[in-house]
Amino acid sequence: MALPTNDEIVDDLSFFDDWEQRYEYIIDLGKQIPGLPDSKKTPDRLVKGCQSSVWLDVDDSKGPLHFNVDSDAVIVQGLLALVLSAYQDKTAQEIVDFDIDDYFTQLDLERHITPTRGNGLRAIVGRIRNTAQALL
C-alpha cells in the first residue's frame, strides 16, 4: 500500500480535532512502512542525531530515489512516513527543490514533538537532501 502524498497528509491532519488523534494517524502511517531486514540495519545506514535508532537505505539505481527506512520507535516510524511522503521516488533535483520547511509548517508538526525528535527529524531530512545533492 502506497503512502498518501504530502498534500493528502496535510488535508487528512486538518480533519482531526486534537493532536492525540493526529499522533494516532501519524503512527498508523508508520505502520504502512515495511521497515528493513536486520541485515540492512548497519552502522553506515544509521542516521546520526536521532534520539531513537533510525536506518536509511537509498536505492538510486533506477533514476528516482527510493528510500527504505526503519526505526525502533513507533512515533519515529510515523515521522519517517511523513518524510517519505515528500521524498519517495522523486528525482534528486525534486528532493533538493522541495520546501520541507513549508511542509512541516503546514503540518504544524514541530510545535507538537519534542526538541530531540525535531532534531532527529532534521537529521533524517538532512541525510536525504545530502544524498540527493551528491547525485546532482
- The pTM for the full model equals 0.92
Angle between helices 6-14 and 74-87 (to 10 degrees): 130
pLDDT the model gives residue 128? 97
Higher-scoring residue by pLDDT: 44, 111: 44
- Does residue 44 carry a pLDDT above 70? yes
d(CA 90, CA 96): 10
pLDDT the model gives residue 61? 75
pLDDT the model gives residue 51? 82
Fold of 6-135: Sufe protein. Chain: A (3.90.1010)
Contact 25, 16 (CB under 8 A): yes
Report the percentage of the chain scoring pLDDT > 90.
Answer: 77
Tell me the pLDDT tens digit for each residue of 53-83. Answer: 999 999 877 789 999 999 999 999 999 999 9
What are the catalytic residues? 50
Q: What is the mean pLDDT of the chain?
A: 92
Tell me the pLDDT tens digit for each residue of 6-34. Answer: 999 999 999 998 999 999 999 999 999 99
Which alpha helices (H) appear in the chain, and where do they start and end?
6-14, 19-31, 74-87, 92-97, 100-107, 115-135
CA distances 2 to 34, 65, 67, 111, Å, are: 11, 15, 13, 27
Q: Which three cell numbers stand for residue 106?
A: 503546514
- Which residues face 90 on adjacent strands? 65
For the chain, the domains span: 6-135
- Does residue 1 carry a pLDDT above 80? no
**Mean pLDDT to the nearest integer, 49-54:** 88
